[in-house]
Amino acid sequence: MEAPAAPGAQPRVRRRFPWRSVLCWLAVAPGALWAVVRIAGLDWRPFVQLIAFTPYAAAGSVLPLALAVLLRRWRQAAVAGLALALLAFAVLPRAIADNVPAVRGPVVRVMTANALFGRADPAALVAEVRERRVDLLAMQEFTPDLAAGLDAAEIGALLPYRELHPEPGAAGSAIYSRFPLRDGAVRRQPGSGFLQASATVLVPGAPELGFESVHPCPPAGWGTLNAWRRELSAQYPATPKGGLRVLAGDFNATLDHAPLRRLIATGYRDAADAAGAGLIGTWGPYDDDPIPPVTIDHVLADKRIGVESVEVHGTPGSDHRKVLAELTLPRGDNP
């Protein structure tokens, strides 16, 4: 038998484990960490691949906030609310068209397409070039067989000027143009070995336009992250006081990756972001793998170039979707 409590003694109170608080902290912590990594630009291992899914993390960060409020854990709710606000600040502007000054000059329709080791259907590509009235086409993973297929589908009747560097596998690069090209060149990325074709485009009534088909190394594994970072950093910056430039291609980076944001900050505008289409995924892959789409294909245009619209379309035979941007160039002296 237990001894009776002494007169005036306080009864013992068993302290319960604060499981609700712990549960809330466990739910809130991932979103808070994600927000810190994204806002601070900490593209480190193992965050580089995960950070591409920031739009999904932003949408999912509503749940821990709702849980904390439901359980009346206000400190956790405050942290979750701050994380949600930071992620929304990073992501939501991509769904809102920018209010930028109108540009009056020639309109150019630029398309970029990754052909997945040259497996893209050449007849379908040419049909879309015709239907969408494409003026400039940048291609990645461009192979000799695809070049032959495009010729057989009579791409030359639509885009007669070209700067082609086909190679087997994923390294090849190409530019097709409705307008004359000058100073055609190619450079090979040192880490991945991918080629990047470039040329100066002579659009009547506009200044000369530098154009490059971009394809840096993907951050596919631990051993490629340094090459990915170097090759993104080696992309040509904008020249706000010099000539106009457009970069189009598979950047293997989203707007949540700091190296791409630094490149854009030199004086580019991401066309899809400017048009309010920046949350449309361009790579899935779309072959039943359980990976949600991410936006790694971009058209970056000098800020002096107007962005009228952006469309994203599937590419038969490829796991990438094509990005089509309608751009307005400023008026210039090019005859």
Determine the pLDDT at residue 149: 98
Residue 17: band (very low, low, confident or very high) from pLDDT cuts 50, 70, 90:
low
Do 117 and 178 lie in one domain? The reply is yes
Residues 125-139 pLDDT 10s = 999 999 999 999 999
Q: What is the pTM of this model?
A: 0.91
Do 174 and 228 lie in one domain? The reply is yes
Do 163 and 227 lie in one domain? The reply is yes
Do 172 and 62 lie in one domain? The reply is no
Q: Which among 95, 125, 142 is the end of a domain?
A: 95
Q: Which residue has the higher pLDDT, 273 or 285?
A: 273
Determine the pLDDT at residue 110: 98
Q: Degrees (nearest 5) of the Cα angle 135, 299, 124? A: 50
Query: What mean pLDDT is reported for the chain?
Result: 92
135 lies in some domain: yes
Residue 282: band (very low, low, confident or very high) from pLDDT cuts 50, 70, 90:
very high
9 lies in some domain: no
For residue 274, give the CATH number of its domain.
Answer: 3.60.10.10
Parallel, antiparallel, or unpaired: how do β-strands 136-140 and 107-114 relate?
Answer: parallel
Do 157 and 265 lie in one domain? The reply is yes
Q: Say if CB 88 and CB 58 are below 8 A apart.
A: yes
Residues 286-316 pLDDT 10s = 666 778 999 999 999 999 999 999 999 999 9
Distance of CA 216 to the CA centre of its chain: 12
4 lies in some domain: no
Residue 10: band (very low, low, confident or very high) from pLDDT cuts 50, 70, 90:
low
69 lies in some domain: yes
In eight-state DSSP terms, residue 273 is H
6 lies in some domain: no
Residues 160-192 pLDDT 10s = 999 999 999 999 999 999 999 999 999 999 989
Whole domain around residue 90: which residue ranges? 19-95
229 lies in some domain: yes
Determine the pLDDT at residue 15: 63
How far apart are alpha carbons 315 and 62 in whole angstroms?
34
Q: Which among 69, 95, 121 is the end of a domain?
A: 95
Do 120 and 81 lie in one domain? The reply is no
Determine the pLDDT at residue 319: 92
Do 133 and 237 lie in one domain? The reply is yes
Q: Which among 33, 60, 95 is the end of a domain?
A: 95
Determine the pLDDT at residue 77: 95
Count of structural domains within the chain: 2
Cα–Cα distances in Å, from 59 out to 54, 112, 159?
9, 28, 42
**Long-range interactions of 6-14: CB distance < 8 A, separation 24+:** none
Do 180 and 57 lie in one domain? The reply is no
pLDDT above 90 coverage of the chain, percent:
80
Do 147 and 25 lie in one domain? The reply is no
Do 122 and 90 lie in one domain? The reply is no
Do 307 and 256 lie in one domain? The reply is yes
How far apart are alpha carbons 133 and 110 in whole angstroms?
9
137 lies in some domain: yes
Secondary structure of 146-188 in the HEC alphabet?
HHHHHHHCCHHHCCCEEEEECCCCCCCEEEEECCCEEEEEEEE
Residue range 243-260: mean pLDDT, rounded: 97
Do 143 and 91 lie in one domain? The reply is no
The yes-or-no verdict on residue 22 having pLDDT over 80 is yes
Determine the pLDDT at residue 12: 62
Residue 4: band (very low, low, confident or very high) from pLDDT cuts 50, 70, 90:
low
The yes-or-no verdict on residue 334 having pLDDT over 70 is no
Residue 115: band (very low, low, confident or very high) from pLDDT cuts 50, 70, 90:
very high
14 lies in some domain: no
